[in-house]
Amino acid sequence: MQHDDVIWDIIGNKQFCSYKVKTKTQSFCRNEYNITGLCNRSSCPLANSQYATIREEKGQCFLYMKVIERAAFPARMWEKVKLSKNYEKALEQIDENLIYWPRFIRHKCKQRFTKITQYLIRIRKLTLKRQRKLVPLSRKVEKREKRKEEKALIAAQLDNAIEKELLERLKQGTYGDIYNFPIHAFDKALEKQDEETESEEEDEEEGDDEDVGQKEFVAEDEIEESDLSDFEDMDNLKGSSDENDEDEEENDDDEEENYYNESSEEEMDTEAKTKISSKGKAPLKGPYRKKRAYVEIEYEQETEPASKNKAT
Amino acid sequence: MHTRERRAHHNTSMDKTDLPEENMDFEEESEQRTVKKKKDKGKKSTKVKKSQVPVVKKDEIESRSVDTEPGTSFPPTFSVSEIKNKQRRHVMFMRLKQEKRKQRLEIRKKRKKEREALGDKAPPKEVPKTIENQRIYDETTVDPQDEEVAFDEGTDEFSAYFNRLTNPKVLITTSDRPKTRTIKFCDQLATVIPDAHVYYRRGLALKRIIPQCVSRGFTYLLVINEDRKVPNGMVLCHLPDGPTAHFKISNVRLRKEMKRRGKEPTEHSPEVILNNFTTRLGHSIGRLFAALYPHDPHFVGRQVATFHNQRDFIFFRFHRYIFKNEKKVGIQELGPRFTLKLRSLQKGTFDSKFGEYEWVHKRHEMDTSRRKFHL
């Protein structure tokens, strides 16, 4: 005989029930046949001899009814009724099977059935949409790949490769006439033609040499006046004229040059010159001494009045 | 008595060394050392012992060995792994290493002297082995004069582009709900690729997007996949039935994270550099990248986009260049940079279920050798 009250007395309040999950506000029942999921006197499947639930398996809903006469055989205790896929028909089926059962259980079964059908519909909808596929990453493999990538980056020497490629394209003439580098075009002409061009180029080279040998004085007067005031810059007189020429040339190009990674010999030369000239402050060489202005320096000396000493 | 027996036992296990007496001294000291270490007093004493030990050993060896070298000489059947005691093993190993280093140095000096002595007649310097040197030869490496390859490339999906029939038009999008980093990356990509449009995904299926793109005249679909707030994958789909390539993106650097960068990329079409795409697969990927860009680059813009393949990693860089003179060029990095690794190449447009895969990266088969690369 099943004494429901006795069972409930024991498991519900005083002693232990293994299906009970207690939280601060409420207790839940983990029993799979529980209809509401809460731990109540009326929802406990163990403490009610007349009990029914709805459960679903693989999208199919079943009505489970407890046959208390078989309480001694728990495996055969629950009777299963397959419900139709049509919602209304299934509700009728529930009514039909639980015809003389208490109102509470009938109501709760229908509620549960409604909820289940709703979530089944949702599942079907979601599977039609795009599903995100999660691909597991292996930590070892990721680390390995990262390392390989770093090594490959070092081996690639990207900047050099790009520069080489660009220069090759320039040589091959893909850029056409945009860049006029006279000596380069000169070399090209060399490659194309034969001995006649060699003699011609000799003449032209000598022409270049002539220009290099001659000294040209370009805008030096302005610079010298400003330098007169700074004794330190006396050394820079000869050097500065060359520097200024080159600076003017460089300023013609883009200002972005400051950022370019390149080892231009011209810049190194100017840097070297500035370094050398800035270091040599003290000893002035003979020819550089020409344009020094004559400055008179007056020295003042203070003599302490004798009266103060006497006082102390 | 007990310790003596133990020592004897040790000796038998150490039969490979030629100097048994010395071993006994060694063991005594090592035992004392280990014992003292256990008692945790022995820091100073162990150090003292250690310094004593090599000295002792050296003296004894010197007295025994015939070599004039000041260092130790190891008998040829000696192997460090046979010593059970960790500290001693370590000491012996260090000594072994020093020996080897010395020998190597001597060989190098000898070789250098020989080279100097011979002068011009010296044999040429040996080239060091690199992974690129040792790369296993891939049968699918393309020979520039190969006619079959030329024919294939003349009639594949890119022929329309390479015959100058179409101009590229790129649609850039992301996976669902992208984060700021991915969005910024897409925007920067759009500046780097001419005629690129960025659209938000909003939960649309790719298979449905593709016919719409085709109808609007897009030639490329580029989908950036995001994971953990960072772009990590790229699907590059050539549109009218073109191949679909799936890459893994790593090391994304946006423009503001780059040091010494220049101003923004302008609207001029950049030039394209494709490096090291040697095999058939590499060739097809290279053409995939080349077809992203319009045919005639604007040389006025002086911009260049580089796809450099090294050991199956494709490095993307975007630079502005300037020719200082005919032998020097300066480059300044502008745009974003990232690296790609090919995961799969599919023949048709994007279809993960029923697509026909031309190449899929299978780790267990393809990553067995460190010298084998596929691109």
- pLDDT for the residue numbered B355: 81
Q: Residue A215's Cα: distance from chain center in Å?
A: 57
Tokens of A34: 């529980």
**Average pLDDT score over residue span B255-267:** 87
* Whether A14 contacts A70, CB under 8 Å: no
Which residues partner with B250 through β-bridges? B339
Contact list, B130 vs chain A (CB under 8 Å): 155
- pLDDT for the residue numbered B188: 93
DSSP labels, B288-319: HHHTTS-SS--GGG-EEEEEEEETTEEEEEEE
Decide if B273 and A162 are in contact by the 8 Å CB cutoff.
Answer: yes
* Whether B246 contacts A245, CB under 8 Å: no
Decide if A148 and B311 are in contact by the 8 Å CB cutoff.
Answer: yes
Contact list, A158 vs chain B (CB under 8 Å): 306, 308, 315, 317
Report ipTM (2 d.p.): 0.71
Phi and psi dihedrals of B16, rounded to 5? -80, -20
Among all chains, which residue has been given the structure tokens 């059908």?
Answer: A117
Q: What angle do CA A115, A120, A121 make, to 5 degrees?
A: 100
- pLDDT for the residue numbered A226: 45
Tell me the C-alpha distance between B106 and A131, whole Å: 65
Tell me the C-alpha distance between B353 and A130, whole Å: 12
Contact list, A259 vs chain B (CB under 8 Å): 260, 262, 332
The tens digit of pLDDT for each residue in A205-233 reads: 544 444 555 555 555 444 444 444 444 44
* Whether B204 contacts B315, CB under 8 Å: no
**Average pLDDT score over residue span A55-70:** 94
**Average pLDDT score over residue span A166-192:** 73
Residue A256 has what DSSP assignment?
G
For chains A and B, count residue pairs whose Cβ atoms are closer than 8 Å. Answer: 107
pTM: 0.60
Question: How far are the Cα atoms of A77, A135, A154, B331 from residue A158, in angstroms, in the given order?
Answer: 76, 32, 8, 11
pLDDT of residue B172 exceeding 90, the answer is yes
Decide if A259 and B250 are in contact by the 8 Å CB cutoff.
Answer: no
DSSP labels, B269-294: PPEEEEE---BHHHHHHHHHHHTTS-
Q: Which of A152, A159, A260 sits opposite B322 (nearest CB)?
A: A260
Q: Residue B252's Cα: distance from chain center in Å?
A: 16
Closest chain A residue to B313, measured at CA: A149
Decide if B331 and A257 are in contact by the 8 Å CB cutoff.
Answer: no
pLDDT, greater one: A284 or B188: B188
What's chain B's length in residues? 375
Instruction: Name the minimum distance, in Å, from the CA of A251 to any CA of chain B.
Output: 13
> Which of the four pLDDT bands, split at 50, 70 and 90, describes residue B17?
very low
For residue B11, the surrounding DSSP H or E stretch is helix B2-13
Among all chains, which residue has been given the structure tokens 């060399």?
Answer: A190
- pLDDT for the residue numbered B144: 79
pLDDT, greater one: A288 or B167: B167
pLDDT, greater one: A188 or A308: A188
Contact list, B132 vs chain A (CB under 8 Å): 155
Number of alpha helices (DSSP H) and beta strands (DSSP E) in chain B: 10, 11
Q: A204 in contact with B at a CB cutoff of 8 Å?
A: no
Chain A contact probe: residue of B131, B202, B247, B310 with most A CBs at under 10 A: B310
- pLDDT for the residue numbered A212: 52
The tens digit of pLDDT for each residue in B207-258 reads: 888 889 889 989 899 999 998 999 999 999 998 888 999 999 999 999 999 8
> Which of the four pLDDT bands, split at 50, 70 and 90, describes residue A199?
low
Decide if A170 and B306 are in contact by the 8 Å CB cutoff.
Answer: no
Residue B251: closest CA among B316, B335, B206, B178: B316
Chain B contact probe: residue of A130, A138, A166 with most B CBs at under 10 A: A166
* Whether A147 contacts A140, CB under 8 Å: no
Residues 159-188 of A with CB under 8 A from B: 159, 161-163, 165-167, 169-171, 175-176, 178-179, 181, 183-184, 187
Contact list, A264 vs chain B (CB under 8 Å): 324, 328
